[in-house]
Amino acid sequence: MSRVVVIGSGIAGLIAAVEASRHHSVTLITKSNLAESNTHYAQGGIAAVSSDDDTVAEHIADTLVAGAGLCWPEAVDVLCSEGPGRINDLVALGVDFDRQGEQFARGLEAAHSHARVLHAGGDATGAGISNALVAAVRATNTEIHEHTFLVDIAIEKHATEKDAAGRSQVAGVHVFDTTGTRFIAADIVILASGGAGQLFRHTTNPAVTTGDGVAAALRAGAVLADVEFYQFHPTALAVPGSFLISEAVRGEGAVLINAAGERFMKALHPMAELAPRDIVARGIQSQMMAQGGQPVLLDATALGASFLSERFPSISAACRSYGLNWATTPIPVTPAAHYWMGGVATDDWGRTSIPGLYAVGEVASTGAHGANRLASNSLLESIVFAHRAVSNLGQPWPEDAPAARWGAQGPLLELDLTETVGRPSTQVVDRVELQTMMWDNVGLARTRTTLESTLDQIHAWRPADPAHRLFPDWEDANLLLLAQALTESALARHESRGGHYRLDYPETNPALARPLTIARKV
Ligand code: SIN
């Protein structure tokens, strides 16, 4: 029996805790309450093959195409093949997917060759999953610490017995709560703390998404991969808070129109509104630039009032709350930061480069998404790899994990952490200024000039003094560090591919179809 600490309470963390608690002593740490996570707000659903007219091979092919040449094929194979089994696990844990007769109801989303996106409560899929899993984890003997912040991952050296290479090994976590900072010892730490949408001024993600797990792993010495690849969702409601308008709405037939009332996506891609996300998001951005920054419109009026309120109750309610009637009038939409393909580099079992440290869900970079994630593959990745990580507990840690995939394949960038840990003369980082700069300079389109000026500003900021930090200060320190990692990686990738678009290198360079990895300079 191992002492396992799980960080995060989205779908990946909850599944990891439920499964690990069957054989191990589990402590779950979450910085808000158990139900608050990016998962909770997921709308479209979870992609998996569940019908006779669809095949795992086609799901694999769609995922590889969306990933723009950067997927790790073995991870994609694992994701799509094991997905249907993990969906059955969710059903057994009480997730009530919508049905049509005996079959799961299935939605279509961009770049999928079949309707294979399962949903719950119409567009309240995330809440349906999260509520069931919160109940499931509460029914285990998991020790739950809410409102508790991961400060750092503690590691110690094992010279010979456990690890012949003498590598560092996880020893526990330092956390911060109302009582101050304390240490929790652990044999295993499973990071499931999600992405970092809060790096950008406009994001569909909730306030908790500040990349705390990725930043802590980087400080602990773990290798990150693919961090230059950020996915911008094409359609967020153009209101403060960027409420997500699910791709499933376009899957049901809604279309995008510009200020002149013209459908512009048809000229940009054969799949029009259902082209891969990066293409639709940039198509919208160009239209917006051509119309003086005004948002484009999503026209769902042809779908009819009763269908819209039944299939998309959450979006219908959100539109009403902003005084919009989307059954009669097209609604204003704009791209917003949505999902980080990059993260802590793992192998197919969630193992990172630090023995004892697993990463699952958006915090991880498994290679399953490549440069651009296929819609609704993220919840799937979380359950598949959380399950695999738990099933791997107790197994020997290969000396090259996960370097077999990442280490040999590309240049290793080194991040000098001293540049973000405090020069007394510099200014404390301002979150809104950081987010605005990241949106403007490191968002949908990047250039060497915008990236270099971003790095200059990042180096002119410092995080608040650790001795006086509250939750937002710990978050700001993480966002500043991750902004540096993302910007340096974006500067180093001299091409455009998937979620990374360089105006000064607009073409994809086949010679660069390999991951960039980044780690702290030692
Ligand atoms: C959506 O509902 O459009 C989001 C689904 C996803 O990000 O995979």
Q: What is the pTM of this model?
A: 0.95
The enclosing H or E element of 477 equals helix 471-492
If you compute the radius of gyration of the chain from its CA atoms, what whole number of angstroms results? Answer: 22
Nearest atom of ligand 1 to the alpha carbon of 44: 2
518 lines ligand 1 (CB under 6 A): no
Q: What is the pLDDT of residues 93-152, one digit of tens each?
A: 999 999 999 999 999 998 899 999 999 999 999 999 999 999 999 999 999 999 999 999
- The verdict on the CB of residue 372 being under 6 Å from ligand 1 is no
pLDDT tens sequence across 424-448? 557 999 999 999 999 999 999 999 9
Question: What one-character DSSP code corresponds to residue 496?
Answer: -
How remote is the CA of residue 246 from the centroid of ligand 1, in Å? Answer: 6
Peptide linkage before 402 cis (omega within 30 of 0)? yes
What is the structure's pLDDT at 166?
A: 66
Ligand 1 nearest-atom number relative to CA 374: 8
Share of the chain above pLDDT 70, in %: 95
Show the beta-strand stretches assigned E in 48-148: 99-100, 103-104, 106-107, 117-118, 143-145
Q: Could you tell me if 334 and 287 are in contact, meaning their C-beta atoms sit under 8 angstroms apart?
A: no
Residue nearest to atom 8 of ligand 1 (CA): 376
Which atom of ligand 1 is the closest one to the Cα of 47? 8
Whether ligand 1 lies within 6 angstroms of the CB of 376 is answered as yes
Across the range 28-49, mean pLDDT stands at 94
- The response to whether residue 382 sits with its C-beta less than 6 Å from ligand 1 reads no
Between the CA of 221 and the centroid of ligand 1 the distance, in Å, is 32
Ligand 1 centroid from CA 184, angstroms: 35
| pLDDT per position as a tens digit, 225-242 | 999 999 999 999 999 999
Cα 296 to ligand 1 centre (Å): 19
Return the ligand 1 atom nearest residue 339 CA: 7
Whether residue 418 has pLDDT greater than 90? no
Q: Ligand 1 centroid vs 8 CA: distance in angstroms? A: 20
Mutating to test ligand 1, I would choose from 203, 231, 246, 341 the residue with most ligand atoms within 8 A of its C-beta, which is: 246
- CA 193, CA 131: separation in Å to the nearest integer? 18
pLDDT on residue 408: 58
The C-alpha atoms of residue 235 and residue 277 are separated, in whole angstroms, by: 10
- The response to whether residue 247 sits with its C-beta less than 6 Å from ligand 1 reads yes
Does the C-beta of 375 come closer than 6 Å to ligand 1? yes
CA of 312 to the centre of ligand 1 (A): 13
How many angstroms separate the CA atoms of 321 and 319, rounded? 5
Mean pLDDT of 398-410: 68
Whether 315 is in the pocket of ligand 1, judged by its Cβ within 6 Å, is: no
Average pLDDT over residues 280-301: 96
Residues with catalytic roles: 277
pLDDT at 12 over 80: yes
User: Within 13 A of 512's CA, how many CA atoms are on the CB side?
Assistant: 18
Report the pLDDT value the prediction gives residue 415, as an integer from 0 to 100: 85
Sheet-wide strand order for 117-118: 46-47, 117-118, 106-107
Q: What is the mean pLDDT of residues 12-35?
A: 97
- Split at pLDDT 50, 70, 90, the class of 222 is very high
pLDDT, position 417: 77
In short, whether 43's Cβ falls inside 6 Å of ligand 1 is yes
C-alpha span between 243 and 68 (Å, rounded): 27
Mean pLDDT over the full length of the chain: 94
**Res 416: pLDDT:** 81
pLDDT at 168: 82
Q: Which domains does the chain have, with CATH numbers?
A: 3-194+341-405 (3.50.50.60), 237-335 (3.90.700.10), 410-520 (1.20.58.100)
Report pLDDT for 521: 87
pLDDT score, position 401? 76
Question: If you average pLDDT over residues 328-343, what whole number do you get?
Answer: 97
Residue 31 has pLDDT above 60, yes or no: yes
DSSP secondary-structure letter at 257?
E
- HSE-up of 334 (CA within 13 Å, CB side)? 17
Cα-based distances in Å from 478 to 3, 153, 188, 429, 451: 26, 13, 22, 11, 19
**Ligand 1 in reach of 195 Cβ (< 6 A):** no
Q: What is the pLDDT of residue 398?
A: 87
pLDDT tens digit sequence for 341-362? 999 999 999 999 999 999 999 9
Indicate whether 159 pLDDT > 80. no
> What is the distance in A from the centroid of ligand 1 to the CA of 495?
26
State pLDDT tens for residues 161-171. 555 556 789 99
CA distance 181 to 317: 41
C-beta 246 within 6 A of ligand 1: yes
226 contact partners, CB below 8 Å, separation of at least 6? 70, 341, 342, 343, 365, 367, 370, 371, 515, 516
Could you tell me which residue, 195 or 397, shows the higher pLDDT? 195
Asked if residue 248 has its Cβ within 6 Å of ligand 1, the reply is yes
Range of weakest confidence among 58-62, 216-220, 275-279, 385-389 = 275-279
Q: Is the CB of 316 under 6 A from ligand 1?
A: no
pLDDT number for residue 11: 97
Query: What is the DSSP-derived secondary structure letter of residue 505?
Result: B
**Minimum CA distance residue for ligand 1 atom 1:** 246
- What spatial distance separates the first Cα and last Cα of the chain, rounded to whole Å? 34
On the question of pLDDT at 411 being above 70, the answer is no
Q: Which pLDDT value is given to residue 161? A: 52
Tell me, what's the pLDDT at 384? 98
Q: How far is the CA of 36 from the centre of ligand 1 (A)?
A: 18
Q: Has residue 451 got a pLDDT over 70?
A: yes
Cβ of residue 362 lying under 6 Å from some atom of ligand 1: no
- Amino acid 45: pLDDT: 94
Residue 44 C-alpha to ligand 1 middle, in angstroms? Answer: 5
